[in-house]
Amino acid sequence: MGKPTLNPSDGVFTFSVGHQRIGNQQDRTRVGDLMKRASCVAGVAFLACSIAGFAETKIPCSQSFDHALESRAVLLIDSRPAGLHIVGTDKDAIHVSCTAGSEENAMEVSFHFSPTAKGGKLSIEGAHLHNGNNNIEVRIEIPRRTSVSIRMMAGEVRLEAVKGDKDIDIGAGQVTISSIHEGEYRSVDTSVGVGEVKASAFGADKGGFFRTFKKENSSGDYRLRAHVTTGQIELLGNAVEKGEGARSD
C-alpha cells in the first residue's frame, strides 16, 4: 500500500492500491448513493399514499364523478340498495351521477371509485334505510364494451347498450338487460329463487318458483349470469328463432 498524498486541486487525500483510488472520495460516492436511494423510497411512498388517498375519497350523492376507464375493462360494482341505471357510451370514461328523493336521503349515500389492474371498482355506500331504495337512483355511464359484475342486497339494475360479460347477483328486486342481439352471448345462465324470468330476447317467458333460463352458443362472444333471490329478470332484444339451443327449467 502506498503513502497517502494530498491533491492540491480538491483537497482530497488519496493513496494508491494497484490502479484504485480510495479515501474520502469513496465516502462521497457512498453518501451520494444513499441520498439517491432515500429519494427513490420517498417517491414510491408518496405515490402509494396518493393512490390510497384517492381510493378512500368518498363523493356525496349530490356530486357527479368522472374517471378514465378504457374500453374492454372490467367494472366491479358493490352497492347498497338503490336503483342502478348502467348505460354504454362511446367515451373511454366512467361518469357517475346520483339523485335522491330528499336531501336527507342524499346525505346517507356516497360512492368512491378505485382503479384496479383490469379496470376499476365502484362502491356505493350508505345506511340501509327502511323504505326500499329511498328513491336513490344512480346513473353509471361506461364504455360500451365493458364487462360488469354487480353485487347488491336489494334494488333494481338496468343495463342498456353494454356489450361485455355480465355477472349480476341481487337479493331482492329486478334486473333488466336490454339491447341483447341474437348470437352475441356464448352462455346465458339466469335464475330466480321466487319470481319470474322473462327472456323475450331468446323466446322464453317463465314464472313461478325456482325458475331458470339457460342458453349456450359456441360462436358467441360474451357470458351472462344473473341471479335474483326474490324478484324478476328480464332480457330484452331480438328473439331467437326456435331450435337454437334455448332451454328453460
In terms of residue numbers, what domain contains 120?
56-248
Assess if residue 218 is contained within a domain.
yes
How many domains does the chain divide into?
1
Assess if residue 35 is contained within a domain.
no
Assess if residue 7 is contained within a domain.
no
pLDDT tens digit sequence for 88-125: 999 999 999 999 888 887 888 899 999 999 999 999 99
Gap between the Cα atoms of 173 and 228, Å rounded = 7
The pTM score is 0.73
In this predicted structure, the answer to whether residue 37 has a pLDDT above a threshold of 70 is: no
Assess if residue 77 is contained within a domain.
yes
With b meaning 16 or more CB within 10 Å and e meaning fewer, what string describes 26-38? eeeeeeeeeeeee
Assess if residue 114 is contained within a domain.
yes
Assess if residue 160 is contained within a domain.
yes
Helix or strand holding residue 77 (H, E) = strand 74-79
Assess if residue 2 is contained within a domain.
no
Query: What mean pLDDT comes out for the span 43-64?
Result: 62
- Retrieve residue 223's grid coordinates: 357470458
Do strands 20-23 and 109-115 pair parallel, antiparallel, or not at all (unpaired)? unpaired
More confident residue, 37 or 148: 148
With b meaning 16 or more CB within 10 Å and e meaning fewer, what string describes 177-210? bebbeeebbbebbbbbeebbbbbebbbbebeeee
More confident residue, 19 or 207: 207
CB–CB of 113/122 below 8 Å?
yes
CB–CB of 216/245 below 8 Å?
yes
Residue (of 128, 119, 123, 101) closest to 110 by Cα position: 123
Assess if residue 34 is contained within a domain.
no
